[in-house]
Chains A and B, each alone.
Chain A
């Protein structure tokens, strides 16, 4: 087996097209997960026991069932029942729902870390509730939750690889396509791995920096 440089470039171009889709899926699922996570974290503080119970059930189900099984239920299972979802939205819904369960805990502990006395104190020194939120609560909440959300985003980026199983045209999907047409398995999968690495490694460095900053601040 000889190494063909032009072929490697050709493969990379194809895989990069998939990388755009990978980023799109990651970004959309992240948004869904964050919104869902914040929403559930707030609901979890509810006075009503049944509401809290349903949030707990949601978290438990999406924490303990593999992402691939969820995607298959959403994509193949729902199609059987007559609800046809395209691969892209199925991936975003599936990964977003799972991410929401993970981030609920993150935001929950973020809220817990802030002593409720802080808001009272801010109001007592004459801040309006809006000002208290803007200058006291939010800056702290963001600093606490940003590193875990960042870590989740990196994990999500890599988890999107399994979306190829429901035929969403991202990196692994194109890699498998290239393999069936050229049989260059080593080259294609090494290139695919490199592309993932080039995306997630810089992100990981940023998150590490944030974590260090947070540790020095606490």
Chain B
């Protein structure tokens, strides 16, 4: 088995480096996720705001970001800001870029969640004698969670996979490490397959959970 020989020979050398890089991938994923959620909430409330210009500005941001590839945004942040005197290191650029990108998508999700909650629902709950806390617990929350939770989980998988393109702005994550090791050992197939399996191992449990939740939430909805 000539092919497997490569893995046996280099495993001790590859594995520690790839494990650290995978840790970075997870760190980028989580940090940009938090950034995206916060940004998404701000933008969602901004779009529903009564203050002049704010909804328009938020809409413009959302439409523009959704119209360009994440890679273009990453390049703009990492390379494009340098002539303007703003130098961002590749890790921060990755977190900011991915967060800005997915935040625009989340804003629409959150807006959907907020708008789906008709004001009358709360009034109805209160008028049948529920306390505000009870109305919140039994009427408002279940509906909001149902709308928002599945896309929130899916976004985590999307971010995990999208973090791979940060290798193109030389963020020290899994894909970049694989590329470096591949050019050092001249075993590209070994490394990219291995890295593909590693991404799969990280994303598969998440997508299992996401699908479960989605199926659960969709019950009795039609």
Contact = CB atoms under 8 A, between A and B. Distances in A.
- A, B assembled together: yes
Interface of A: 1, 60-61, 63-70, 72-73, 76-81, 158-162, 164-165, 172, 175-176, 179, 183-186, 188-190, 192-193, 196-197, 200-201, 204
**What range describes how many residues of B lie at the interface?**
35 or more
A117 to B, nearest CB: 16
A197 B200 contact: no
Most central of B69, B76, B187, B195 by chain A CB within 10 Å: B69
B161 A196 contact: no
- Residues of B contacting A: mostly: helix
A82 B75 CA distance: 33
B83 A184 contact: yes
A189 B164 contact: no
Nearest to A73: B192
A66 B164 contact: yes
Interface of B: 63-64, 66-73, 75-76, 79-84, 157, 161-165, 167-168, 175, 178-179, 182, 186-189, 192-193, 195-196, 199-200, 203-204, 207
Contact of B168 (A60, A162, A190): A162
- Residues of A contacting B: mostly: helix
Across the A-B interface, the 6 shortest Cβ-Cβ residue pairs: A161-B69, A64-B203, A77-B189, A66-B164, A197-B67, A158-B69
Contacts of A161: 69-72
B80 A189 contact: yes
Contacts of B199: 64-66, 69
A186 B164 contact: no
Contact of A189 (B76, B182, B195): B76
Nearest to A70: B196
A41 to B, nearest CB: 17
18 contacts: A1-B84, A64-B200, A66-B161, A66-B162, A68-B165, A72-B178, A72-B188, A73-B189, A73-B192, A77-B192, A77-B193, A80-B186, A81-B189, A159-B69, A162-B168, A185-B82, A186-B83, A189-B76
